Amino acid sequence: MPADNPTEKEKEGLQQLYLACRGLYAIEGTTMISVQKSFEEMLSGYLGKNAWRPTHASWHAALELTMGSVKNVQRAHGVIHGRLERRPRTLQILSSPEQSFDEWWDFYKKHDVTVMITKSEHNSNTTYVEDQLIKLPTWDQGMFESAGFNLRIRKSVEINWMKRRLEEKNGSL
C-alpha cells in the first residue's frame, strides 16, 4: 500500500474507517480513547514506515543517540508550535463536521509527524521552534523510518549522520 498516494480503493476503505469511528465516537458510553486507538492503529498500520515519522531532533536527543543510549530517545507529537498532540488531533478529526477523505487525511498526516527528543525532555513538556532543532533528512533518503513502536536507528547510517551534525555545531566529538 503506497501510503503517500493511496489508490481509490484504499481511499474508500479509509473513508469507511473514518465514518465508522465518527459513528462510534457519537454513541453515548463509548470512550474516546477506544475509538482514538482503533482509528490510529489502523492508520499507523497503513502508513507503515511513515507513521510517526520524525522531521527534527533536539540537540539533547542527538547527544543521547551518539554518546548515550538509543533507548532514552523517543518520538513526540505536538512539541513544535502548530503541531497537535495525537489525542487532540484525532478528536478534532472525529468530532468536527464530516470531511472528505483528502481533507481529514491531509490534516492527519500533517499532525502525525514527530520530533525525536529525550525521555526527560518529553516528561518536561518542552516545546520548540524549528530553529532550535536539527532538521532531519527528507524521507526519500530512507533514514529515521518507523519500525513498529520504535525507529530504525543504524550506527552506520543514522548515528553517523547525527555525529556529523554535532561535529558541525560543536567541532569534533
Q: Which cell goes with 40?
A: 490510529
CA angle 156, 162, 168 (to 5 degrees): 125
Q: What pTM was computed for the model?
A: 0.87
φ and ψ at residue 115, rounded to 5 degrees = -125, 135
What is the mean pLDDT for each group of 10 consecutive residues in the chain (173 residues)? 78 97 93 93 92 95 92 93 93 96 96 95 91 94 87 93 92 59
Span 87-97, pLDDT tens digits: 999 999 999 99
Residue carrying C-alpha cell 497537535: 84
